[in-house]
Structure 1
Amino acid sequence: MYCLAMGGHLVVINNQEEEHFVKGLTGGKETWIGLSDAQKTGYWFWINSEPLGYTNWCPGEPNNWGGNQHCGMTNYSAQKCWNDIPCDRSYPYVCERN
């Protein structure tokens, strides 16, 4: 909600260069990114409605473990990739504005 209040949205990662930039901003910590399949399970889109082009999913992800993992986050502290997790978790986030 903070990103929206500031006129932006959660970060969209379009390529490896942007991935490295986000990783640098977060110090390599787990972080929310603007990725979700909440509208239709298994169909991942960015918060700005862009379909996925570049991805960096961890091996075996996204897996919707437990049937409620509909948001994306960076898992830089472990395997340096993306994971799907429940949307009600508390993590730092990166916003962007166009």
Structure 2
Amino acid sequence: MLPYSSYILIALAALLVTCQAASKCPGISGLPGRDGLKGLPDSLASKRHDALANLKHRLFQLEAVLSLNGKIRKVGEKILASNGKKADFASALQSCEEVGGTLAAPKNEEENKAVMDIVKEHNQYAYLGIRKGETSGQVKYINGMPLSYSNWHQREPNGNGKEKCVEMYPDGTWNDKKCNMYRLTICEF
């Protein structure tokens, strides 16, 4: 399990990476120069710019160290991390949300492989941030968006409405499962 401070740093790194990619960070937007800090005296704008640049550099260093130690995996704009603990679906989701993330939900083959690598490393099935809706056969990401990618195991999903959650096997394939089972927690940021 990572120390609490590591989760904070992971969440901050993920936020900065996401903000930089989307260019939607209030007051950050690409680490602005003086033009992006209108209304501040030049000396304060310069100090703020330097502080933000230093913070960005430190966060990327920490991200690199955590990646080298196998604590996180970066895939595209996502950062994946696991505390190595097993929990039921609701508790796993809550654990991820408490540190600013959500349950890992692969949206393409590359992301699925990154999640699978963590599943293999821990040799445990993991819940995904995917659930079956009330309508039979309807599968969605937990944010309500329709599923855009899937990697179902042969003859899955087959829970006939009784298995609302989705787990990943060590081979990267998916299975519908009851939500009260204990599975590995993998978060995405």
* TM-score category, normalised to shorter length: 0.7 to 0.9
The residue number in structure 2 matching 1:29 is 124
Q: Deviations over 1:2-61 (max 9, x none)?
A: 111112211110111001111112225311101101433311001122211111001111
Larger helix fraction of residues: 2
Cα pair 2:112 2:172 within 8 Å, conserved: no
Distance 2:102 2:167 in 1: 14
Matched, 1:8 2:101: yes
TM-score (norm 1): 0.84
Partner SS state of residue 129, structure 2: strand
TM-score (norm 2): 0.46
Gaps of 5+ in 1: none
Letter in 1 for 2:165: C
2:166 to 68, 72, 83: 72
The total of aligned residue pairs comes to 94
1:49 to 140, 144, 150: 144
Q: Matched residues, percent identical?
A: 30
Runs of 4+ in 1 over 2 A off after TM superposition: 38-41
Distance 2:133 2:180 in 1: 12
Distance 1:12 1:50, change over 3 A: same
Distance 1:91 1:29 in 2: 7
Distance 2:152 2:132 in 1: 14
- The structure, 1 or 2, with the larger RCO (C-alpha pairs under 8 Å, 6+ apart) is 1
Cα pair 1:38 1:71 within 8 Å, conserved: no
Superposition CA RMSD, Å: 1.6
Partner SS state of residue 118, structure 2: helix
